Structures are given as structure tokens and as C-alpha cells.
Amino acid sequence: MAVAQHRTTLQEYITSEWRANGLNRGLDAVIMAIAEGSRRVQLQVQQAALADALGATGETNVQGEIVQRLDAASSEIFVETLTGSGHVAAIGCEEIEDPVIIDADAADGYIVLMDPLDGSSNIDVAVSIGSIFGIWRKDPGEVVTDESLLRPGNQQVAAAYVVYGSSTVLVLATEDSVCGFTLDPETGTFAVTHPNIRIPDDCPYYSTNEGNNKVLDEATRKAIGLLRDQYSQRYVGSLVADFHRNLLKGGIFAYPADLNRKEGRLRLMYEANPLGYVAEQAGGAASTGYGRIMDVVPEKLHQRTPLILGNKDVVEATVSVINGG
Ligand code: AHM
Ligand code: MG
């Protein structure tokens, strides 16, 4: 095999590009903690069946959902690596009912909201899953409390997600850029493979759970019908994987409110806000169906939201139809 070219590692990227641009202090340590956690989680994902680590823990989380053993293991790993970064004041996690306050008055401290293992229904069947992180900066002098986690998405300073798929890819969005890094499983390092990600102008795909069609209101059913008429469907059932494909290839993801779930299915703070931030930084858009995701003022850590996410013009057209346009 030909010798691979040297690629900029995540650490080099942060050091050379971010520091030069006046990176928020301490954010580099938080990102490297996410990368280290992801490396460890992907090892567990790869080895889960061999290690008898698949299946459920027997517990349900705060949303009443069955906790898979890898959900719990991933949560523990990221809490450990983020705590070790020395710059995380608090963590909010899908699998943990209350905020985890690490260091309430940490200097250069951050608040991280995470879904440590997204796509739980795909864990046991070797289908792509992922991790999602929204990152907020604690105010100088602020002593973090549980309420401090309830910040709107428009105050995020960065967001990241990781796809554990046929390769492991970490996508990092800051106010400067969106960049993708692929894990080299032999060295355990992430290197730049997708610089300056912009969502393509074309939108070949729509991603939605068609099984929910029967519980949509008339306007939303019409909006989904228009997507069906125009685009090819791709639906993995892991939000991270569906979003990643649509970000690189063009596409729209829709999990709208329905008659049974007026509040939506997905979680605002650690699914919709971070991916909304990535989408917007890459030229896309994220909506509840009624307004911008990142402008929602959160009331609860685990609150749900409808989510329409992807190519800006297609998101806007879909939202318009949902609202009777
Ligand atoms: P999870 O965080 O418990 O894995 O649930 C969220 C997942 C998303 O990854 C995915 O988009 C959605 O649930 C799929 O839901 P459905 O099975 O209703 O289509
Ligand atoms: Mg999830």
C-alpha cells in the first residue's frame, strides 16, 4: 500500500488554526476530551458483541426509554474524559436525569450537553450510531447551577458530533468553520479529511420515518408528501448518521410534531441544538417547524422538539407548507 500523506491531526488543527484565530481558552481541552472519549466509545462499539456488552441494562432513563448497556458505558466514558479536561463546569446528558456539576466556578469553564450514544435502536444490529455535543461557555465569574444549563442554542460556542460508521468521523463546528476528522484506528488519532464543510446546494435526499405518516396533521402530511415527490428517501434511524449523509451530500431530515407527540420526538438540548448549530455554520438551517431551533428558550434539560434540518431553502419551503403556506 502506498505511504499515506501526512494529514493535519485534530490537535494540530486546533493548535495552528484556532489559537491563531483567538480560540476561546480551554475549548481545545474540551474538544480533545470529546475526541478521546469517542476513540474509546468506538472501540467498545466495535467489540460490544464479543465482550457480551450488547443489550439493555434493565433500566429506563428519564424519558422512560430502555437504556442499552452501550448507552450507559458511553455516558460514563464521556463524563470521565470531559471531567479530566479541567475546563468543564457542568454536563447535561441524555442518560443522566440531573445536571452533573463538575466544577461550578471553573476558570475558562464550559457547559457540555450531550447524547453520548445516539441511535440506540441500531446498537445491537451493527448499524451506524453516534455521539452529539453542544458546547456553551460559562460566563466569567458565573457559579454554575442546574439552571445554567438552560441556555438557548444560539449561545453555543461550538458543537460536535461523531459517527461510528464504516469509518469513525468527528465533525466539529465553531464560529469559524465546520471541519470533519476521521479516526485512524491504528494510531487512535483523528486527522482532517473533510475541511470547510458546506452543505451542497442540491438536495437529493429526504430523511423521515414514513411510518409516522398516519399520525401527521394534514399540513405536515402535505409537506412530507412534497418531499417524497421530489427527493429520494434515505432513513437510517440514527439522527447522527442521517444528518451526516445529508450534510455531505445535501438533504433534509424531518421529525415533525405529530398528533401523538405535539412536542416532537427528538431532544432540544443535546440533539437539535448541536446539529442545528452545525447545519447553520455549514450554510443549512434548523427549524422546529414553527421557528428557528436555536432561538427556542429551553425550559427543561430533557425537553423534546420537532426538528426540520438540512438544506436551507428546502427547510424553509417545508416549514412554509407545515404552516399552511
Ligand atoms: P436515541 O437518542 O434514544 O437513540 O433516540 C433518538 C433516535 C434518533 O437517532 C433517530 O433520528 C430517531 O430516534 C429515530 O426515531 P424513530 O425510530 O421513531 O424513527
Ligand atoms: Mg439520540
- pLDDT tens column, 131-163: 999 999 999 999 999 999 999 999 999 999 999
Which regions in the chain score pLDDT beneath 70?
Answer: 1-4, 18-23, 49, 51, 53-55, 65-67
**The pTM is what?**
0.95
**C-alpha cell at position 247:** 450534510
Distance 31 CA to ligand 1 centre (A): 25
Residue nearest to atom 15 of ligand 1 (CA): 237
Q: Using the mean position of ligand 2's atoms as its centre, give its distance from the Cα of residue 114 in Å.
A: 9
- How far away, in angstroms, is 96 Cα from ligand 2 center? 13
Top mutation candidate among 62, 120, 121 for ligand 1, by most atoms within 8 Å of CB = 121
Domains along the chain?
A: 10-194 (3.30.540.10), 205-322 (3.40.190.80)
- Which burial class, exposed, middle or buried, applies to 32 when counting CB atoms under 10 A from its CB (0-12, 13-18, 19+)? middle
Ligand 1 atom at minimal distance to the Cα of residue 209: 19
User: Distances in Å between the alpha carbon of 53 and those of 50, 61, 66, 207?
Assistant: 8, 18, 15, 30
For residue 287, what are the contacts with CB-CB under 8 A and spacing of at least 6? 293, 307, 308, 309, 315, 316, 319
Within 6 A (CB) of ligand 1 lie: 65, 94, 115, 118-121, 209, 237-239, 265
For ligand 1, what atom is nearest to the CA of residue 94? 2
Centre of ligand 1 to C-alpha 98, Å, is 21
* Dist. CA 155–CA 174, nearest whole Å: 12
User: Ligand 1 atom 5: the closest Cα is on which residue?
Assistant: 119
**Euclidean distance between CA atoms 18 and 192, whole angstroms:** 14
> Over the stretch 78-136, which tens digit does the pLDDT of each residue have?
999 999 999 999 999 999 999 999 999 998 999 999 999 999 889 889 999 999 999 99
Measure Cα distances from 245 to 165, 169, 181 in Å. 11, 12, 15
Minimum-distance ligand to the CA of 309?
1
Distance 322 CA to ligand 1 centre (A): 22
State which H helix or E strand residue 90 sits in: strand 88-93
